[in-house]
Amino acid sequence: MYYNILTQTDHPKYRAVKKTVKLLVAFVEAECIYFSESAVESKTGILTVVVSKKSPHYYDDVVFHLWKVIENYNTFSFCFFDRECIKREVGKGNLFFLFNCKETDLVYRNTGGKPVLDIKKLNMKRLLKKTVANYQMWISEANTIGRDLKYHRGNENHLMALYVIHEQFRYLFINASWILTGEWVMDENISGQQERIAKFNSVLGNTFDLDNKEEKEVLRKLDLTRKAVQWGEEIEPLTAEIVESAYEKMQWLMSEVKTMYQQYAEQTKKIFKEYGNQ
């Protein structure tokens, strides 16, 4: 059964959303599907699919099963979860579902299905306390890793200095991806993490401007550094300038992630106020 914008034939996104939802339902045993607006201009929106217990594919595997659909309908950002995963993540303070799985975002539900999120039953203070705890955990990881950076830079060990910065980037992107995508993007490559986040946030997704030759080169060197340190692969000589450029970009990202969490917290308070529970 269709809901909200899929009952509004005059809605500007009605046709695109309905066509994609019908395709998803044909290939996935979906309990319900939510559509939310995207902050990325090139995207039609975010489709969050709650995979049914009856599905022969675990929600983590659906992405591989539907790779062609995801590739061909890339104006949408797709997310796949099951009910238990959502319950577990909300319990940890993950705000993604609060922003993308409200009743007003529902576009499809199998008969008899219940809402995956009841905002009126959530305690806002407890939720945000857990959100902040997770944010601080990943920031702490990034700062702990960065303790050796000054030492490596002082010894002009550009390889290890850049590797430390790479790992700080990784934890910052993991931190951001948690509430932007609903899950931790654990890709080892910074380029892979940025590519995933770019589908949900245009600012963080453009941390390294791929149209800028210098920034693209810094990103390339960061990923090559990880392979050199972890796998012993050969890498061309690195410079203090590359390290400094990467460091400045990492500091910028740390500030942006903090700002993003603060904005999400403020918007969360507004959502709870609208639902009458604070």
Overall number of domains in the chain? 2
Residue 14 to residues 5, 19, 31, 32, 150, Cα–Cα distance (Å): 6, 8, 20, 17, 54
Same domain, 247 and 147: yes
- Domain membership flag for residue 278: no
How far, in whole angstroms, is CA 105 from its chain's centroid? 18
- Domain membership flag for residue 195: yes
How far, in whole angstroms, is CA 35 from its chain's centroid? 16
- Domain membership flag for residue 19: yes
- Domain membership flag for residue 52: yes
Asked if 78 contacts 36 with a C-beta cutoff of 8 angstroms, the reply is: no
Same domain, 160 and 224: yes
Q: What are the beta bridge partners of residue 35?
A: 47
**pLDDT confidence of residue 5:** 76
Domain that holds residue 171: 124-273
What CATH number does the domain containing 211 carry? 1.20.120.330
Same domain, 31 and 132: no
Last residue of a domain, one of 117, 141, 176: 117
**pLDDT confidence of residue 69:** 82
Same domain, 240 and 112: no
DSSP state of 76: E
pLDDT (tens, 9 = 90+) of the chain, 278 residues, equals: 877 777 888 888 999 999 999 989 888 888 999 999 988 887 889 999 999 888 777 676 777 778 888 888 889 999 999 999 999 999 999 999 999 999 899 999 987 667 889 898 999 999 999 999 999 999 999 999 999 999 999 999 999 999 999 999 999 999 999 999 999 887 889 999 999 999 999 999 999 999 999 999 999 999 999 999 999 999 999 999 999 999 999 999 999 999 999 999 999 999 999 886 65
- Domain membership flag for residue 241: yes
Asked if 44 contacts 77 with a C-beta cutoff of 8 angstroms, the reply is: no
Same domain, 69 and 193: no
Helix axes 213-231, 158-181, angle to 10 degrees: 100
Same domain, 99 and 130: no
DSSP state of 104: G
Last residue of a domain, one of 88, 117, 146: 117
Last residue of a domain, one of 69, 95, 117: 117
Same domain, 93 and 158: no
Same domain, 36 and 79: yes
Same domain, 46 and 107: yes
Cβ burial of 203 (10 Å; 0-12, 13-18, 19+) is: middle
Stated pTM of the model: 0.92
Same domain, 106 and 149: no
Same domain, 52 and 146: no
- Domain membership flag for residue 88: yes
What count of other Cβ atoms lies within 10 Å of the Cβ of residue 220? 13
**pLDDT confidence of residue 260:** 96
Same domain, 133 and 203: yes
Give the ranges where the chain is alpha helix by DSSP (H): 14-27, 59-65, 67-72, 83-91, 96-100, 124-145, 149-154, 158-181, 190-197, 213-231, 240-274
